[in-house]
Amino acid sequence: MKYIKPADIEKRSFEIIKSEMRTNPPADEAPVLMRVIHTTADFDYEENLVFSGGAVQAALEAFDRGAVVVTDTNMALSGINKKALEWLHIEAVCYMSNIEVAAEAQSRGVTRAAVSMEKAARITGKPLIFAVGNAPTALMRLADLIEERTVSPALVIGVPVGFVNVTESKERIMETAENYIVARGRKGGSNVAAAIVNALMYEKIDPGRNK
């Protein structure tokens, strides 16, 4: 087997993805979709990854204004490229392990994911990008907060994976959020959430990298 340089693996992978795609997505959405397929090797995302109009542009503009990326898992947080965050002068946070969040969730009998969304909604002065890849309760609570006008996210990435309230939470966030990227159906995951954030950051830093 011929040795392939690490820098060439990603390039070759994207060439294969592009050649095997069945659809022709819009130019601004294609890099995000291809990054998700690259992460999962799952071409079903051609059908189930949906974008609101202007979602990608909303993220790029949020980066210019010092966005804070909020994840619902530490796994998603760990998957976000730290060098890209630093380059863009933005930050990513996850409150799932926050002591206060855990205590409040226990006292109220709700999930930490839901309470972590409430805590993130109190961040002021910076646009918020929510990247939910695991907990539908986080997405449901975020939809509540949007409806209550407690928070107005620059973008919601809704890609929780699973079987209970997963599809429902995604459909609801599509009804409430102004800008969203959602994986309809059961598929998704923390790795997908991180991949979408990374794809958006790469497009800001180096347009064309995801192609």
Q: Which of 36, 162, 123 is nearest to 140 (CA)?
A: 162
Inter-residue contact 197 to 157 (CB < 8 Å): yes
Chain-centre distance of CA 74, in angstroms? 13
Of residues 25, 29, 38, 119, which has the active-site annotation? 38
Return the structure tokens found at 207. 């347009």
DSSP label at 126?
S
125 Cβ contact partners less than 8 Å away, ≥ 6 residues apart: none
38 catalytically annotated: yes
DSSP 145-177: HHHTTS---SEEEE---SSSSHHHHHHHHHHH-
DSSP label at 209?
T
- Map tokens 């429902």 to a residue: 168
CA distance 1 to 110: 52
Question: What are the catalytic residues?
Answer: 38
